[in-house]
A and B are shown apart, each in its own frame.
Chain A
Amino acid sequence: MSQALQAPRAATRQEPATVGPGLRDGLRTEWTKLRTAPGTFWLLLAVIVLTVALGTAAVAAAKCPAAGCGQDPAKISLTGVDVGQAVVAVVAVLIISGEYSTGMIRTTLAAIPRRLTVLGAKAVVVTVLVLAAGIVAVLGSLLAGRLILPGHGFTAAHGFASLSLGDGPVLRAATGSVLYLALIALLSLGIATAVRDSAVAIGFVLGLLYLFPIVAAAVSDKDLHRHLLQAAPMMAGLDIQATTGLRSLPLSPWAGLGVLAAWAAGALVVGGLLLRFRDA
Chain B
Amino acid sequence: MSTGTATPNRPDTRPGRGSDAAGRDSFAHVLWAEWTKFRTVRGWVIGMVVAGLLTVLVGYLSAAGSQTGCGSGPCHFYVPVGPGGEAVTDSFYFVHRPLAGNGTITARVTSLTGELPTASGGRVRAGLGESGLHPGLNPWSKAGIIIKASTRQGSAYAAVLASGDHGVRMQFDYTQDMAGPPGRPSAVSPRWLRLTRSGDTITGYESPDGTHWTRIGTATLAGLPATVQAGLFATSPAYSVMTTPGIVGASNTGGPTLATGVFDHVGLSGAWPASGWRGDDIGDGPGSSYPVQGGGYHHFGGAFTVTGSGDIAPDTDGGPGPGQSIQFALVGTFFGLIAVVVVGTMYITAEYRRGLIRTTLAASPRRGRVLAAKAIVIGAAAFVAGLAAAIIAIPLATRVSRGNGNYIYPVNALTEVRLVVGTAAILAVAAVLAMAVGTALRRSAIAVTVVILVIVLPYLISITNLLPLSGDQWLLRLAPVAGFSMQQAIPSYPQVGIACSPAGGCYPLAPWAGFAVLCAWAAAALALALVLLRRRDA
Residues of chain A at the chain B interface (Cβ within 8 Å): 39, 58, 61, 63, 68, 70, 76, 79, 82-83, 86-87, 89-90, 93-94, 97, 101, 195-203, 206-207, 210-211, 213-222, 224-226, 229, 235, 248-250
Complex-state Cα separation, A204 to B222, whole angstroms: 54
Q: Which of A97, A210, A221, A224 contacts B460 (CB 8 A)?
A: A210
Q: Closest Cβ of chain B: how far from A88's Cβ, in Å?
A: 10
Residues of A within 8 A of B406 (CB): 220
B248 lies within 8 A of A206 (CB):
no
- Distance to closest chain A CB from B252 (angstroms): 12
Instruction: Give a binary string over B53-72; 1 marks a CB under 8 Å from any A CB, 0 the rest.
Output: 00000100110011110000
Please, how many angstroms separate the alpha-carbon atoms of A221 and B328 in the complex? 14
> How many residues of B are in contact with the other chain, CB < 8 A?
54
Residues of B within 8 A of A202 (CB): 342, 444-445, 448-449, 452
Q: Which residue on A lies nearest to B250, using beta carbons?
A: A217
- Give the residues in chain A near B524, CB-CB below 8 Å: none
Residue of A214, A248, A249 with most chain B CB atoms under a 10 A cut-off: A214
Residue of B nearest to A192 (CB): B445
- CB neighbours (8 Å) of B457 from chain A are 82-83, 86, 210
B58: A residues at CB distance < 8 A:
215
Residue pair B460, A219 in contact (C-beta under 8 Å):
no
B247 within 8 A of A: yes
Q: Give Cα A114 to B43, complex, Å.
A: 30
**B456 CB to nearest chain A CB (Å):** 5
Q: B407-455: which residues lie under 8 A (CB-CB) from chain A?
A: 443-449, 452-453
Interchain CB contact under 8 A, A248 and B248: yes
Q: Are B444 and A199 touching (Cβ within 8 A)?
A: yes
Chain A's closest residue to B341 (CB) is A203
Tell me whether A94 and B466 are in contact in the complex, defined as CB-CB below 8 angstroms, given that A82-B457, A203-B338, A220-B67 are known contacts.
no
Query: Which residues of the other chain, A, contact B67 by a CB distance below 8 angstroms?
Result: 220-221
B3 contacts across to A, CB distance below 8 A = 197, 200
Pair A207/B444 contact, Cβ less than 8 Å? no
19 contacts between A and B (CB under 8 A): A79-B466, A82-B457, A90-B445, A196-B1, A202-B449, A206-B452, A206-B453, A207-B335, A207-B338, A210-B457, A211-B456, A213-B463, A214-B459, A215-B61, A219-B62, A220-B66, A224-B65, A229-B248, A249-B248
CA distance A196 to B2 in the complex (A): 9
CA distance A274 to B338 in the complex (A): 24
Q: Which of B4, B244, B346, B449 contacts A86 (CB 8 A)?
A: B449
CB of B460 within 8 A of CB of A198, answer: no
A-side contacts of B341, CB under 8 Å: 203
Q: Does B464 contact A (CB under 8 A)?
A: yes
B residues less than 8 Å from A61 (CB atoms): 466-468, 471
Separation of A210 and B456 alpha carbons in the complex (Å): 7
CB contacts (< 8 Å) of A203 on chain B: these are 338-339, 341-342, 448, 452
* A213 to B461 CA separation, bound complex (whole angstroms): 11
B93 / chain A contacts, CB cutoff of 8 Å:
none
Partner of A199, one of B335, B445, B503: B445
Point out the residues of chain B lying under 8 angstroms from A222, CB to CB: 249
A226, B335: Cβ atoms closer than 8 Å: no
Task: Enumerate chain B residues within 8 angstroms of A249, measured Cβ to Cβ.
Answer: 248
- CB neighbours (8 Å) of B307 from chain A are none
Instruction: Report the minimum CB–CB distance from B147 to chain A (whole Å).
Output: 38
Is B235 close to A, CB under 8 A?
Answer: no
| Max chain B C-beta neighbours (<10 A), residue from A82, A201, A202 | A202
Q: How far is the CA of A150 from the CA of B248 in the complex (A)?
A: 26
In this assembly, does B358 line the interface, its C-beta being within 8 Å of a C-beta of chain A?
no
Task: Indicate if the CB atoms of A82 and B338 lie closer than 8 Å.
Answer: no
Bound complex: CA A101 to CA B247 (Å): 38
Q: How far is the CA of A147 from the CA of B415 in the complex (A)?
A: 49
Instruction: Check A220/B445 contact, CB under 8 A, given A61-B471, A207-B338.
Output: no
Which residues on A sit within 8 Å (CB–CB) of B443?
39, 198
Contact among B249, B331, B446, B467 with A225 in the assembled complex (CB-CB below 8 Å)? B249
Interface contact B247-A213, CB-CB below 8 Å: yes
How far apart are the CA atoms of A211 and B333 in the complex, in Å? 10
Residue among B58, B250, B444 with max Cβ neighbours from chain A (10 Å): B444
Instruction: Answer yes or no: B353 CB below 8 A from chain A CBs.
Output: yes
Which residues from chain B contact A216 at a C-beta distance below 8 Å? 247
A217→B468 contact, CB < 8 A? no
In the bound complex, CA of A164 to CA of B276 (Å):
73
- Assuming A203-B452, A207-B335, what are 11 further A-B pairs, CB within 8 angstroms? A83-B457, A199-B445, A200-B346, A202-B342, A202-B448, A211-B334, A214-B459, A217-B247, A218-B328, A220-B324, A224-B65
Give the residues from 8 to 40 in chain B that come closer than 8 angstroms, CB to CB, to chain A: none
Binding site for A on B (CB under 8 A): 1, 3-4, 43, 47, 58, 61-62, 65-68, 122, 244-245, 247-250, 324, 328, 331, 334-335, 338-339, 341-342, 345-346, 349, 353, 406, 443-449, 452-453, 456-457, 459-461, 463-464, 466-468, 471, 503
Residues of B contacting A206 in the complex (Cβ-Cβ under 8 angstroms) = 338, 448-449, 452-453, 456
Q: How far is the CA of A248 from the CA of B346 in the complex (A)?
A: 42
Contact of B444 among A39, A68, A198 (CB under 8 A): A198
Question: In the complex, what residues of A have CB within 8 A of residue B464's CB?
Answer: 213
Q: In the assembly, what is the distance between CA of A220 and CA of B65, in Å?
A: 7
**By the criterion CB–CB under 8 Å, are A214 and B331 in contact?**
yes
Enumerate chain A residues within 8 angstroms of B43, measured Cβ to Cβ: 197
Q: Provide the bound-state CA to CA distance between A229 and B463, in Å.
A: 14
Are B349 and A219 in touch, CB under 8 angstroms?
no
Whether the pair A199, B248 counts as a contact (CB closer than 8 A) is: no
Asked whether B339 lies within 8 Å of A248 as measured between CB atoms, the reply is no
Q: Are B346 and A235 within 8 A (Cβ)?
A: no
Question: Would you give the shortest CB distance from B467 to chain A, in whole angstroms?
Answer: 5
List, in ascending order, chain A residues with CB within 8 A of B248's CB: 229, 235, 248-250
* B460 CB, nearest partner CB in chain A, Å: 6
Contacts A63-B468, A219-B62 given; indicate if A83 touches B453 (C-beta within 8 A): yes
**Chain A positions within 8 Å of B65 at CB level:** 219-221, 224-225
- In the bound complex, CA of A210 to CA of B448 (Å): 14
User: How far, in angstroms, from A39 to B66 measured CA to CA in the complex?
Assistant: 45
Return B174 CB to nearest CB of chain A, in Å: 25
- A101 partner residues in chain B, CB cutoff 8 A: 4, 353
Residue of A nearest to B460 (CB): A210
CA distance A86 to B1 in the complex (A): 24
In the assembled complex, the Cα of A214 lies from the Cα of B337 at a distance in Å of 13
Contact status of A248 and B449, CB under 8 A, knowing A58-B467, A199-B342: no
Min CB distance B13 to A, Å, is 30
Taking a contact as CB atoms under 8 Å apart, the answer to whether A199 and B456 are in contact is: no
A214 to B328, CA, bound (A): 11
Contact B456 A219 (CB under 8 A): no
Q: Could you tell me if B249 and A201 are in contact, using CB atoms closer than 8 angstroms?
A: no
B452, A197: Cβ atoms closer than 8 Å? no
In the bound complex, residues from chain B placing their C-beta under 8 Å from that of A89 are 449
Nearest CB of chain B from residue A218's CB, rounded to whole Å: 4
Rounded to whole Å, the gap between the CB of B430 and the closest CB of chain A is 12
The answer for the CA separation of A201 and B448 in the assembled complex, in Å, is: 10
> Roughly how many angstroms separate A39 CA and B349 CA in the complex, as a whole number?
17
CB distance from B534 to the nearest CB of A (A): 24
Chain B: CB-nearest residue to A200: B342
- Bound complex: CA A113 to CA B264 (Å): 95
